Chain A
Amino acid sequence: MSEPGAARPEGTTVHASGGADTIVAERLAARGESLAHSTMPRERGALARLGAGIRRHKMASFGAAIVVLVALSAIFAPWLSPHDPLEQDVLLRLATPSAEFPLGNDSFGRDILSRILWGGRVSLYVSTAAVGIAIVIGGALGILAGYIGGKFDRIVMAAMDVLLSFPTLVMGLLVVAMLGPTVGNLILAITLTAVAPFARIARAPTLTVKERDFIEAGRALGFSNLRLMAVHILPNVLDDILVMAALWLATAIRTEASLSFIGLGVRPPTATWGGMIREGFENILDSPWLAILPSLAILIVMLGLNMIGDGLRDTSDPRLRHE
């Protein structure tokens, strides 16, 4: 996960790297830009604004293209994969790539391409579910704590600090070892560590927004606290939350893969990227692609998500937004 304040490569690096993907991305970016100028004369909600921001930002659109492609391939894995990911064939054990099995076969003779496509389903499902739940719980807690303030704020944020003190992987180990390696528990483990950062990221802008005149004006119009939080503070906080969400999705995917790698993820034979790396690891010397290919899948998704996150952070800065 990239750190705030880390050097951000500009969109130009995309040009420099060359290759077919780059050309596609450039075309996408160019079209995005022209779209942004012709059909976005004014802004809509925070989501639409971020959408426009992504399209204007070359690196972010490249990242978005990657993530969308991976997400689509995971969603449509049952139709896209040429073989059953669980079908074993001893004769094809550790076979090198062929026309029928483009990425070769693993130590049980299963098709690696199909397993990578199916493995993406687990990774994306676990990470989006965990981050989604964390956004709802953490965002609500953060806004409430910032808005109510006082003792409630201190108690909630102290609890968040306790959660934050567990590294994601350690929390994952703890939960999965105690409750068992199921998809639900994986989601629970990642959610537990992701709630605290979302609570923090929602609380900080709430503290400043709640002091602004339009909240007082809303109160003078008779709006309840709940309405002020949900309708007037939330949209002001959403930008920050979504930037964080992109970066945390990457972390969640990595955590899921790490847990699978050490055998605490979804149980075999279900295909997961982390699990495939571990299985491939046993034959790393004679068949290195078994470990490298799923690693590449993880790398590409995380790269895409971080590009989106960094790009969003650039474009959600209001001073850069209305250039």
Chain B
Amino acid sequence: MNSAPALVVDRLTTEFRIDGRWHAAIRDVSFTVGRHETLALVGESGCGKSITALSIMRLVPRANGRIASGRVLLDGRDLVQLDEAELEATRGGAIAMIFQEPMTSLNPVLPIGFQVAETLRYHTKLSAAEARAKALALLEHVKIPSARRRFDDYPHQFSGGMRQRVMIAMALACKPQIVLADEPTTALDVTIQAQVLALLAELKAETGMALIFITHNLGVVASIADRVAVMYAGDIVETAPVTTLFERPMHPYTEALLSSIPRVDRDAGDLKPIAGQVPPITAMPAGCRYADRCPLRIERCATRPPLVALPSDPRHEVRCWVRAGEPGASA
């Protein structure tokens, strides 16, 4: 089996132009996703999770956005350097994406079977009939009930959960080695969320694809992820295997994030909101971006800390001057 990672993101920086000046929405984002691995990308709204995904897919709007630097390696090819034709062949092929809104991510005037078959025909040399047959198999695979009868139905005739299944079928049509799922369950209600998560886990086990799962829901993270990368204001501040992260968070932001989640086994009065606000993209501090809100702040935080592995655990990386040297972690 190939042991090379499925995807390597290396110091990726994406900028947006606001009032004529370029500001970095994500800065030096680096992570690696191994084969068969699920990496959860977590963080609050606006922290750059989705921009990271769009940058990897090279879907950052050109009018006012650009990838300023960095590399995205897929099968040894740097996606940042590909031209449009090569990108079109790669997207939906080796790398695919599932979006947040199943209600609007399908074309309302085309039958769902056609939309799945279209992806297949576009990326493979299947004939129309073969593509239809394979699309039907895919729809059955993602457990659309009576898929044969509903093949020519339109998106508005399906519920949100069913539509998300169709989206998953389209993303998986060409057996991608990595799938980016941008909050795929956020728009669904809880029971449907659980079904879709179970389906994703099952498909992942079957196909061996790697998954980048973007969410702000830490409960979902715990149930699906192998590893977690926590983002704050465009920076990855901590990465760790999922159990390690929940048991021994090192970055003060991760700590604060975990203690701000309501839990049934704790009193609601123990919830601690994080004081202060995320700095706006136009006024990012030069040093640690969390410094303003951080209880552990020291003078050195005025310079930018690197993301470094902990001496005690090479798989646990943290971007913090105070905590990088350990000890002092609290859970």
Contacts and interface: CB of A to CB of B under 8 A. Distances in A.
A276 B167 CA distance: 60
B70 to A, nearest CB: 20
A42 B157 contact: yes
A231 interface: yes
A214 interface: yes
A214 B118 CA distance: 14
A285 interface: no
A220 B97 contact: yes
Interface centre among B57, B88, B107, B170 (most CB of A within 10 A): B107
Contacts of A231: 110, 118
Contacts of B91: 219-222
Contact of B99 (A46, A213, A224): A213
Nearest to A236: B109
Interface in B57-101: 57, 59, 87-93, 96-97, 99, 101
A222 B95 CA distance: 9
A221 B96 contact: yes
Interface residues of A, number: 23
Interface string A184-227: 00000000000000000000000000001110111111111001
Given A42-B154, A216-B59, A221 B92 contact: yes
Contacts of A216: 59, 99, 105
A213 B92 contact: no
B57 A213 contact: no
B105 A223 contact: no
B325 to A, nearest CB: 41
Contacts of A46: 109
A227 B92 contact: no
B106 A217 contact: yes
B123 interface: yes
A222 B89 CA distance: 6
Contact of A222 (B93, B101, B110, B153): B93
Nearest to B123: A222
A216 B104 CA distance: 10
B326 interface: no
A214 B107 contact: yes
Interface string B46-64: 0000000000010100000
Tell me whether chain A's interface is mostly helix, strand or loop, or mixed: helix
Contacts, number: 69
Size range of the interface on B?
20 to 34
Interface string B160-178: 0000000100110000000
Interface string A28-52: 0000000000000011111000000
B110 A227 contact: no
B119 interface: yes
Interface centre among A219, A221, A227, A235 (most CB of B within 10 A): A221
B31 to A, nearest CB: 20
Interface string B125-166: 000000000000000000000000000111011000000000
Interface in A59-91: none
Contacts of A223: 88, 92, 122
B287 to A, nearest CB: 35
A93 interface: no
A220 B96 contact: yes
A177 B306 CA distance: 78
Given A222-B87, A222-B92, A235 B109 contact: yes
Contacts of A45: 109
B110 A235 contact: yes
A43 B109 CA distance: 9
A227 B122 contact: yes
A46 B111 CA distance: 11
Nearest to B167: A217
A42 B92 contact: no
Nearest to A209: B107
A224 to B, nearest CB: 5
A214 B92 contact: no
Contacts of B90: 222
Contacts of A236: 107-109
Contact of A214 (B89, B97, B104): B104
Nearest to B102: A213
Contacts of A43: 154
A42 B109 contact: no
Contacts of A219: 59, 91
A221 B109 contact: no
Contacts of B101: 213
A211 to B, nearest CB: 10
A218 B90 CA distance: 13
B139 to A, nearest CB: 16
Contacts of B105: 213-214, 216-217
A45 B109 CA distance: 7
B68 to A, nearest CB: 21
Interface string A236-272: 1000000000000000000000000000000000000
Given A217-B170, A222-B93, A236-B109, 11 more contacts: A43-B154, A213-B105, A214-B104, A214-B107, A217-B167, A220-B92, A220-B99, A232-B110, A235-B107, A235-B109, A236-B107
11 contacts: A42-B154, A43-B154, A46-B109, A213-B99, A213-B104, A214-B107, A217-B106, A218-B107, A220-B92, A224-B88, A231-B110
Interface of B: 57, 59, 87-93, 96-97, 99, 101, 104-110, 118-119, 122-123, 152-154, 156-157, 167, 170-171
Q: What 6 pairs across the A-B complex have the smallest Cβ distances? A: A221-B92, A222-B92, A222-B91, A220-B97, A213-B104, A235-B109
